[in-house]
Structure formats: C-alpha cells, structure tokens
C-alpha cells in the first residue's frame, strides 16, 4: 500500500460542502497512489476549527487531531447525520438527526430521525471509534498526536468499541462508530481489515446495521 519512489505522486481529491446545520465550509482530501490505494486523509471543519489527518505506510498508521474536544451531543448528531445522508442517498427519506429524548440512551438510542412520511423512526446509537487518550489531550492542549499503530490494531479497536455496547439493546438499532473527529479508523485499509477479520462476527450481533462514519460523508458498513 505504501507508494514507492517509482510511483507517480498521489492523487488528491478535494471535496467541500456545508457542514450539516452550521453553514460553514468543510473539506476532505484523499491521498492516493497511482494504483488507487489510499495512503492518507486530511480533513478540516470550519464550524469548530477541526483539523485532522492520517497517513499509512508499510502498515504503519500515523495520525494527528487538532481543535477543541467535541461535545458529546455534537459528535453524536454529526455521526448520525452521516448515516442519514448515506441512507437517503440509497433512496430512504429521513429527516435530519435529532438527539433522542432524555432517557432513551438507556435503551441504546442516542439520536433519532423521523421519516418524511411520518410513519417510521430511525434509531441510532453512537460510540467513538477512538478510545485512546485523544480526547484528554484535546481537552488539555487542543491537539493530539496519536502513537503510531497498525491497521490490524485499529481494526481490533473497532471490535472493542462495538463490544463496549454489548449490554445495550440492538434490535432495530443502527450502531454508528464515530470517526468524524479522530479519523484513523476511516482509512479504507482499516475498514476492509475489519470486514475481513470481524465481519462474520459483527453480523451475528443483531443490529439493524453497523457503520463507521468518517469525515464529511465518508461511511462504510462494517457488518456486510
């Protein structure tokens, strides 16, 4: 996956859109080799001065995250909206994400969305994909440099994140692993490794679906 000296410079793709509900510019930069392998991601979000990046070379993943420590409600609503945008792109008609009424978190629901027809309700549980010291560092200094890790370790960390919700209800609920702020897990190499190693296990858990939500509208279903 690492690019050699003989390969052409990585292809960069820039995407910009309005940050959901804030009306400020965000971007996602995808670095690729000439053969299409993703070697890095860069993202910025003007709404809260988020800046994050990740690179992979020879299975070594290095990353950084800068900006304020995100409020729990903001990240849950943002990750839920990434899922809603994805489902709507496939023909669903869900309204914007809303925080679940107080007490619903005990039922395994963090956010909901009503259908445009008004008959159905989308139930979403959100958990962070990054369970390291990132959030403590952001709260203290506004920036975090992640220890180098591997694709396999990041995939195993996603399984740990899912396991952390094992005592919550699952039937009828979409589980979203939030990688919208700390984006290492959004690398295609990581989600592909998870699906290969843990996909069969994930499909036995009983969720309506398990997704990894990255920056912008980058999303991968993990239980397929």
Which pTM was predicted? 0.87
**pLDDT tens by residue, 62-90:** 999 999 998 999 999 999 999 999 999 99
Q: Which of 219, 224, 215 shows the shortest CA–CA distance to 75?
A: 215
What is the predicted pLDDT for the residue at 2?
40
Of 92, 91, 109, 108, give the one whose Cα is nearest residue 100. 109
Find where tokens 């919208």 sit.
180
What distance lies between CA 191 and its chain's CA centroid? 10
Task: Answer whether residue 222 shows pLDDT above 90.
Answer: yes
- Cα separation, 51 vs 68, whole angstroms: 10
Coil, strand or helix at 101 = coil
Compute the radius of gyration of the chain from its Cα atoms: 17
Q: Is 222:186 a contact under the CB 8 Å cutoff?
A: no
pLDDT per position as a tens digit, 7-50: 333 333 333 333 333 335 889 999 999 999 999 999 999 888 99
SS3 178: strand
Give the residue-averaged pLDDT of 130-154: 92
């Amino acid at each position: 996956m690492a690019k050699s000296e003989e390969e052409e410079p990585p292809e960069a793709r820039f995407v910009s859109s309005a940050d959901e509900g804030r009306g400020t510019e965000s971007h996602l930069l995808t670095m690729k080799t000439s053969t299409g392998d993703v070697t890095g991601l860069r993202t910025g979000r003007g709404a809260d001065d988020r800046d994050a990046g990740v690179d992979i070379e020879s299975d070594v993943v290095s990353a950084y995250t800068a900006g304020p420590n995100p409020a729990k409600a903001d990240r849950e609503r943002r990750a839920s909206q990434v899922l809603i945008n994805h489902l709507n792109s496939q023909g669903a008609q869900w309204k914007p994400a809303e925080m679940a009424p107080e007490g619903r978190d005990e039922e395994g629901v963090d956010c909901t969305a009503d259908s445009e027809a008004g008959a159905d309700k989308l139930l979403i549980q959100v958990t962070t994909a990054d369970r390291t010291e990132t959030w403590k560092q952001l709260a203290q200094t506004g920036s975090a440099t992640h220890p180098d890790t591997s694709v396999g370790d990041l995939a195993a960390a996603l399984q740990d994140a899912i396991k952390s919700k094992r005592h919550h209800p699952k039937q009828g609920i979409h589980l979203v692993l939030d990688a919208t702020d700390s984006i290492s897990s959004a690398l295609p190499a990581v989600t592909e490794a998870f699906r290969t190693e843990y996909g069969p296990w994930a499909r036995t858990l009983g969720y309506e679906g398990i997704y990894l939500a990255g920056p912008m509208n980058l999303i991968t279903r993990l239980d397929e």
